[in-house]
Amino acid sequence: MKFTHDAIVIGGGAAGLTAAGGCALFGLKVALIEGNKMGGECLNNGCVPSKAIITAAKRAQEAREEKRYGVQLAAPKVEWAGVHKHIHDAIAHIEPHDSKETFEEMGCEVIMDYAKVTGKHTVEVGGRVLSAPRIVIATGSEPFVPPIDGLDGVPYLTNENLFDLTEQPEHLVIIGGGVIGMEMAQSFRRLGSEVTVIEPGKPMGRDDRESVQVVVDVMKDEGVRFVEGKGQKVEGSEGNITVHTDGGDTVTGSHLLIAVGRSARVSGYGLEELGIELGRNGIKVDARRRTSVKNIYAIGDCREGPRLTHVSGYEGSNVALEITTGLPTKVDWKALPWCTYTEPEVAQIGMTDEEAREKFGNDNITVIKEGFDHNERAIAEDSTKGHLKVILKGKKVLGASICGKNAGELLLPFTQSITGKSNTFALGSAIISYPTRSEILKAAAFSAWEPTVFGSLPKKYAAFVAKMRRTFN
């Protein structure tokens, strides 16, 4: 078969851009196909707008806080048009990095249209048939909309239209207390909306429970209302929407946001016809991200597995490397970090203590906990809420959970510990700038060694050296 390209990549989000860009930079002939907006979810409806609104909300909160350290700020006055502009300015600022022109300059043929996989090696797009030895599916995910009675009949928001709101919601009701629900709940509350979160289980269920509790308490203090239950029935009309929960509660707000998770985009573009195997929520892949049709890869949110921008980037570069070199690559999640950008942030890598206890038994793990209330930078900044927990098996780091200001920035040393590129001894004996929040990392790592360093053997040795000095000096 004569191929038109070396690789065809479907989807111009974080995963597809990394895979296509990687292959093109190695000199392969690549077709990159995007049916909607270049940059995908992260740039247009996800990470970027959500982090932009979080920034505006932080500014409002700083002005609102009572403690002012001798500096008087005016009470916040939120102009929604300004918030909206800031969100869209942030997107516009980053847009050129992900644009058609940028990827054409890298050497990709960029086609702006919806693609259909028509065979093991063929893709139809815009009336053309493209072919390649390797195809990469990176079609992403979309908001999961649960089957709630009446939902079809009321206007509701998802992350796809939330950031286009041109007026501030008076009362935002959020169904779902996951990462997106929690970040948006705090932001809208801080910007002045009333906010109610309806969540049946534990908010941010994948994260360390103690860390999540700190965030929930902060959000409650800031005025976010939490209702335990599942949204069972919805009724009302524009500006007046009521949610009835299975617990018998009734919540009425001006706007409703559905934030209960993501569905992989797997239908309507040929996967079924080709017999590509699907899992519970996404395309089935092996560790090399190959689908059941082995020359077709699936990466990022469209396949089963974690859904994060850095995961999409990681898989995109793995697959680009595999396609260009012919050498197999494998994903490894044992040092996968993630962070929820509430204030305080909650960052996690590896296992939580609950997971470690379940896997190795209570007696075989150690949990070291350091509070930010002992960290002098945190004290000087008056932001001592939160802690660091390191989960150890012997001296080996299994995971770490950090709750606090900029927690996401503090995870890197644990990535290196878990992957064996560093260890708790190196971290515990590192010189760290004073005063920084990173000092908490050294304190926790040193705690792991404290019983050894100040144990009976070193003490006996020190006593021996002291005796020698007394005798011979």
Ligand X SMILES: Cc1cc2nc3c(=O)[nH]c(=O)nc-3n(C[C@H](O)[C@H](O)[C@H](O)COP(=O)(O)OP(=O)(O)OC[C@H]3O[C@@H](n4cnc5c(N)ncnc54)[C@H](O)[C@@H]3O)c2cc1C
Of 235 and 304, CB closest to ligand X: 304
CB of 218 to ligand X, least distance (A): 19
Of 260 and 427, CB closest to ligand X: 260
CB of 150 to ligand X, least distance (A): 24
CB of 257 to ligand X, least distance (A): 10
> Which neighbouring-strand residues pair with 340?
346
CB of 297 to ligand X, least distance (A): 12
In the complex, the residues that contact ligand X under the rule CB under 6 A are 10-16, 33-36, 40-42, 45-47, 50, 114-115, 138-141, 159, 180, 265, 269, 300-301, 307-310, 312
CB of 34 to ligand X, least distance (A): 5
Of 338 and 446, CB closest to ligand X: 338
CB of 111 to ligand X, least distance (A): 8
Q: Are the CB atoms for 151 and 145 separated by under 8 Å?
A: yes
CB of 64 to ligand X, least distance (A): 24
Of 312 and 422, CB closest to ligand X: 312
Of 40 and 344, CB closest to ligand X: 40
Q: How far is CA 156 from CA 81, 169, 170, 191, 453, in A?
A: 21, 12, 14, 20, 59
Q: What secondary structure, in 3-state letters, does 195-259 show?
A: EEEEECCCCCCCCCHHHHHHHHHHHHHHCCEEEECCEEEEEEECCEEEEEECCCCEEEECEEEEC
Of 244 and 405, CB closest to ligand X: 405
User: In which residue are the tokens 């609950």 written?
Assistant: 354
CA 124 – CA 119 distance, rounded (Å)? 9
CB of 219 to ligand X, least distance (A): 17
CB of 8 to ligand X, least distance (A): 11
Q: How far is CA 141 from CA 263, 283, 286, 471, in A?
A: 5, 11, 19, 75
**Strands laid side by side in the 171-175 sheet:** 225-228, 194-199, 171-175, 255-258
Q: What secondary structure, in 3-state letters, does 105-159 show?
A: HHCEEEEECCEEECCCCEEEECCEEEECCEEEECCCEEECCCCCECHHHCCCECC
Of 336 and 368, CB closest to ligand X: 336
Of 298 and 427, CB closest to ligand X: 298
Of 242 and 281, CB closest to ligand X: 281
CB of 128 to ligand X, least distance (A): 13
Q: How far is CA 434 from CA 184, 376, 450, in A?
A: 34, 8, 21
Of 301 and 343, CB closest to ligand X: 301
Helix (H) or strand (E) holding 458: helix 456-472
- Give pairs for 73-82: CB < 8 Å, separation 24+: 76/192, 78/168, 78/191, 78/192, 80/165, 80/166, 80/167, 80/168, 80/191, 81/166, 82/56
The residue ranges of DSSP E strands in 302-418, in sequence order, are 337-340, 345-350, 366-371, 387-393, 396-404
